[in-house]
Amino acid sequence: MILAVLRMAAIAAGGLNVALGLYLLITNRSPRLFGRRQDWDPRLFGGGMSLLGAGVVLMTVTNMLPGLPLGLSPPLLVVSIGCCLSGPALMLWSAATSRGTPGN
């Protein structure tokens, strides 16, 4: 029972990350929740949040489906791990590019 609740909470948190990331991608501005001062590029940060949320949702859903074919489970796991690793990388890159560091 508690495991099902934790899985649903992970899916909800991942979905919220995707929604907030899409908001940042579309509007190119941060919501008031983050404050007025921005030290990062909103589009890159939003892309990172979307990837991170998609990775969490994919990983949780892959674990929730017991009848998943064996040929489909490893590629989904690799994609979800890739999303979970590239999302924070984009978020860090957004902070680096806004400060005028190399790579801009």
Kindly report, residue by residue over 39-71, the tens digit of the pLDDT: 788 889 899 999 999 999 999 988 888 888 888
What whole-number distance in Å separates Cα of residue 34 and Cα of residue 57? 23
Kindly report, residue by residue over 67-102, the tens digit of the pLDDT: 888 888 889 999 999 999 999 999 899 888 766 555
Q: What angle do CA 77, 54, 81 make, to 5 degrees?
A: 30
In sequence order, the 6+-apart residues with CB closer than 8 A to the CB of 76 are: 58, 62, 68
pTM over 0.95: no
The domains of the chain are located at 2-98
